[in-house]
Copies of this chain bind each other. A is one copy, B any other.
Amino acid sequence: MVAAEIPDIVVGRLPLYLRALTQMASEGKLITSSQELGSRLGISPAQIRKDLSQFGEFGKQGTGYNIGFLAEQLRSILHVDQVWDVALVGVGDLGRAVAHYAGFLERGFRISALYDNDPAKIGTRIADLVIQDSAELVTDLRRRGISVTMLAVPATEAQAIADRLVEAGVKFILCYAPTSVRVPETVRVQYIDPVVHLQRMTYYRR
């Protein structure tokens, strides 16, 4: 049961499987198949079986997968059978919306710290959290042992803040700023830039 080297691209699909399974469970379904899951997600059944088989044997021939059991396994694999404390840096319009979003907790994350560098915002509250001064970022995150952060600052500030996050020992950064940041290999970054997604589509203008 030694963890083999799982391709990044496979890991990337696991959260989609988990999300679909959770949805099925909420619809009262108990069992599904690679066929059904695949048709919901637009992924081939063979690929789903292959992906899952990297981690174990979760299904039953002739029957399919127990939705609750498979979801539980995926939560464990993705390490979201626990709740991660997340710090959000940058409380502009987007940061505010993210801070208010209620959907994190049930999927393994809890926003538990907010930072901004605007004196007018520091000390005010959003969703029960006091906005703290970004100047305290490094000592504070380090002290609290927070390793997951979301970056919702302007693109021009993203690299500087990312450097501070790295300094604070942060391991995972979800970057909403429309720019790439450079970090050591020990730190992982994921990006969300709506314009990138839009441009990926308009290429296919007919």
> Copies of this chain, how many?
2
Cα separation A100 to B95 with both chains bound (whole Å): 12
Taking the closest CB of chain B, its distance from the CB of A181, in whole angstroms, is 10
Residues in B whose Cβ lies below 8 Å from that of A11 = 200, 203-204
| Total number of A residues with any Cβ neighbor in B under 8 Å | 59
Chain B residues with CB under 8 A of A198? 84, 86, 108-109, 148, 172, 174, 190
Q: Which B residues are CB-close (under 8 A) to A97?
A: 92-94, 96-97
- Is A4 positioned at the interface, with any CB of B under 8 Å from its CB? no
- The answer to whether A93 touches B101 (Cβ under 8 A) is yes
CB <8 Å contact, A19 and B148: no
With a cutoff of 8 Å between Cβ atoms, the chain B residues found around residue A104 in the complex are 194-195
- Closest Cβ–Cβ distance, residue A98 to chain B (whole Å): 7
- What are 6 A-B interface contacts by the 8 Å CB criterion? A11-B203, A14-B203, A19-B193, A80-B199, A92-B97, A174-B201
Cα distance, A201 to B40, chains bound together (Å): 24
